[in-house]
Structure 1
Amino acid sequence: MTHKYLKQAVSFFAYSYSTFLLCYLILRLIFWDRLWIVAFIGTFTPLIFLPILLLPFLSFSIIKNRWFSIISSIACILLLSWLHIKYFSPEPINITGSQPSLKILSHNVGWYITKSPTLVKLINQEQADIVFLQETVQKHRKRVFDLLKSDYPYQIDTPPVGILSKYPVLSSEILHLANHRETQQRAIIKFAGQEIVIYNMQATGPWVKIHKTLRFIKIPVYKYAHRFPEIQDLVERIQKETLPVIVAGDFNLTDETQDYYRVQQVLQDAFLKSGFGFGFTWPHGFFAQRFNLRLTYPLCRIDYIWYSQHWGAKSSAVLGATESDHLPVEAELILLQ
């Protein structure tokens, strides 16, 4: 009797999950991010696909359905191949010459969450050439920027974003992409005898809003429309740039969104090229007050370092946690001659 109920429960899970994935993939193929539920589910890629790895075992040992066993085994092989190619087969640039390189560090410090000594320690430890900071506040001016003045003499401190550089800053400007409230920075830096352009990015984050459909019915809806015009504005600006470009920061999007693919048309993702693994950066240590739940492991990658065709990525990594709910990201880029 117990075995019968176990088989029913496992069968219900396996078939329901398979139906869910099939519907998601079909809707994604048709609508992609134009349908909010598809966009929301896609946020948790590749995690939503990992249960596929269990299906062959469940099918062979408990469900014992021949066709489902064959199909789930094929799906498992396809998933493993996709994961290996996309996340576990980096192709860092391999140059043994004397081409100049830049070490880039980017971190969303989470407003007042990250303690100044922690941030100073991180920057001193990594010794990046250019540091991109997001969600900074006034306290960072005296407790971080001033303390690092000797190592980073060229600073652009315009909260809520800031840049620390070991190389001369020739010019800088504050941006509000798509005329939205979020603040970004663009600067021109003198490096290796030539000028390069850097962007410090902070995109509007998506959120879940309770939407009233009928008089007595309310459902949560995933809102992310504000991000698209900001990304579109950034892409158009990058297309007009003639100098080598580096863009780093909190993009508030995952690598399965349409906005990611829009950026990928003009820039290359340093972690995708030279990093290893999923590279999740958020939400580490995020506290969901409503559910009294603290997330201790990040679930998605929303912090990036991008570069134009003038560069190659030698290495990229997600660093250890600070007090922020974002993990810092780092990359070493080679300027191609």
Structure 2
Amino acid sequence: MIAQVPKAGVGNAAGRMLVRGLGRALRALAMLYCLGLVILAALWLAGIQGIGLLDLANIFALYLFAPLVLIAPLAWLVRARWLRAAAVLALLAGVALFGPLLIPPSVRTTSGAPLRVATVNLHYELAAAQLPGLLGVIRAQRADVVLLQELSPSAADLIRRELSADYPHQALEPSTSFDGLGVLSRYAIETLPHTEPLAAQLLRVRMPAADVMLMNVSLASPEVKRRRLPLVGWVPGMRYDVGKRSRDIDRLLREVAALDGPLVIAGDFNMSDRERDYQRMAARLHDTYRETNWGLGATFPNRPPFPLIRIDYVWGSGPAVPAATQVICGGASDHCMLVADMQVGAT
């Protein structure tokens, strides 16, 4: 009589083989993920830019590293030496990329006339019922000047009615699209002509102690376009195009070079602080948030659970230097507000 292997034993053996195979596959995927992060970090740290998808991934680099929170401890629980090594390398790459953001800047002692600047994108599609709450957030900051982007006609009308007592000097240029701009000021202002074609306002603010030039900016958004791939055809989302914005920044920097004295530039730049265009700006101007604060400083989108990237900025030039900054995420706009305390005529 021939003995038969119990079916349960065969099933258990097959199950164990399946689990082991799945475990090996997951470890291999985790190791490839960690090594991929290391390669990306090396490219970014080497300053390699201008490759569309690489640049787009760089904007959200921090979130690409988020799974390491789970993978790194699990690597120590499994007997996989290579996975542990890959996880350590990925963690070191993350520290190299983002560690400097966690270091508070050194305290700078300056003297000059104080000027509080607030910038906020109003999101021109806001319903009329949402605007009063947003204006309340603006008023609560007690800023000396407020720079507005995406200013709609209905928002401009409400501002004239509700904020004229707080801000008697106004330069409002509303629009039914994304390009409406406005400036509110406690001090007298003078609108000035541009030397370059820019979607911006240029004004002189006449403070009691000194005049300061003010530029309110709304730059072109990058475009995520399709690209034709060999043997595949047109594939959407394969091309990250910042050409329009880069040309805007060319014009902006030329105009800045032609201006003398203290200058504050603020607005919606549609640019993260991990892009080449940001580096061009930071090489010429004071990034008020980065020079006075630590952390991401993310301003967009103003939605739960938290903003993801920083695209709203206040910059200083010449004897207009930052003393403090804060990000305010109240109101119904899709952007958080950035408030910067400046010292004008600082020494």
Range into which the TM-score falls when normalised by the shorter chain: 0.7 to 0.9
> Would you say the 8 A contact 2:38–2:90 is kept in 1?
no
What are the equivalent positions in structure 2 for 1:226-241 lying under 5 Å apart? 226-241=244-259
Structure 1 Cα separation of the partners of residues 104 and 332 of structure 2: 31
**Over aligned residue pairs, what C-alpha RMSD do you find?**
2.6
Structure 2 residue matching 1:307: 3-state secondary structure = strand
> Would you say the 8 A contact 1:32–1:258 is kept in 2?
no
Question: For residue 120 of structure 1, what is the aligned residue in structure 2?
Answer: 135
Inter-CA distance 251–100: structure 2 relative to 1 (3 Å threshold): same
What are the equivalent positions in structure 2 for 1:142-221 lying under 5 Å apart? 142-159=157-174, 160-173=180-193, 179=197, 183-213=199-229, 217-219=233-235, 220=237, 221=239
What are the equivalent positions in structure 2 for 1:50-129 lying under 5 Å apart? 50-62=66-78, 64-70=79-85, 72-73=87-88, 75-77=90-92, 79-80=94-95, 83-94=98-109, 99-113=112-126, 115-129=130-144
Inter-CA distance 87–305: structure 2 relative to 1 (3 Å threshold): farther
Percent sequence identity over aligned pairs: 23
> Would you say the 8 A contact 1:87–1:272 is kept in 2?
no
User: How much does 1:300 deviate?
Assistant: 0.8
Question: For residue 11 of structure 2, what is the aligned residue in structure 1?
Answer: none
**Of 10, 23, 37, which aligns to 2:26?**
10
User: How much does 1:281 deviate?
Assistant: 1.2
Question: For residue 314 of structure 1, what is the aligned residue in structure 2?
Answer: 323
Question: For residue 310 of structure 2, what is the aligned residue in structure 1?
Answer: 301
> What amino acid sits opposite 1:323 in the alignment?
A
Structure 1 Cα separation of the partners of residues 234 and 305 of structure 2: 30
User: How much does 1:79 deviate?
Assistant: 3.1
User: How much does 1:203 deviate?
Assistant: 0.7
User: How much does 1:314 deviate?
Assistant: 2.2
Instruction: Please give the per-residue CA displacement for 1:258-302, whole angstroms capped at 9, x wherever unaligned.
Output: 0000000111111112223211111234xxxxxxxxx65322111
Question: For residue 280 of structure 2, what is the aligned residue in structure 1?
Answer: 262
> Would you say the 8 A contact 1:92–1:315 is kept in 2?
no
Instruction: Please give the per-residue CA displacement for 1:156-195, whole angstroms capped at 9, x wherever unaligned.
Output: 11120100011111333468x6x47xx2111111124322
> Would you say the 8 A contact 2:302–2:329 is kept in 1?
no
**Of 247, 252, 255, which aligns to 2:265?**
247
**Of 115, 135, 139, which aligns to 2:150?**
135
**Of 271, 290, 293, which aligns to 1:272?**
290
Inter-CA distance 331–22: structure 2 relative to 1 (3 Å threshold): same
> Would you say the 8 A contact 2:41–2:94 is kept in 1?
no
Of residues 241-250 and 114-123 in structure 1, the stretch that sits farther from structure 2 once superposed is 114-123
Inter-CA distance 210–321: structure 2 relative to 1 (3 Å threshold): farther
Inter-CA distance 36–166: structure 2 relative to 1 (3 Å threshold): same
Question: For residue 291 of structure 1, what is the aligned residue in structure 2?
Answer: none
Task: Return the TM-score normalized by structure 1.
Answer: 0.85
> What amino acid sits opposite 1:232 in the alignment?
D
> What amino acid sits opposite 2:140 in the alignment?
Q
* Unaligned 5+ runs, structure 1: 286-294
Inter-CA distance 5–174: structure 2 relative to 1 (3 Å threshold): farther
> What amino acid sits opposite 2:144 in the alignment?
D
Structure 2 residue matching 1:110: 3-state secondary structure = coil
Question: For residue 292 of structure 1, what is the aligned residue in structure 2?
Answer: none
> What amino acid sits opposite 1:146 in the alignment?
R
Structure 2 residue matching 1:226: 3-state secondary structure = helix
Structure 2 Cα separation of the partners of residues 306 and 262 of structure 1: 12
User: How much does 1:86 deviate?
Assistant: 2.0
Structure 2 Cα separation of the partners of residues 94 and 5 of structure 1: 61
Structure 1 Cα separation of the partners of residues 275 and 232 of structure 2: 33
> What amino acid sits opposite 2:158 in the alignment?
R
> Would you say the 8 A contact 2:173–2:181 is kept in 1?
yes
> What amino acid sits opposite 1:168 in the alignment?
A
> Would you say the 8 A contact 2:37–2:90 is kept in 1?
no
Larger Rg: 2
Structure 1 residue matching 2:65: 3-state secondary structure = helix
Instruction: Please give the per-residue CA displacement for 1:33-60, whole angstroms capped at 9, x wherever unaligned.
Output: 3111111111113222333444432321
User: How much does 1:15 deviate?
Assistant: 1.9
Structure 1 Cα separation of the partners of residues 120 and 51 of structure 2: 31
Inter-CA distance 154–331: structure 2 relative to 1 (3 Å threshold): same
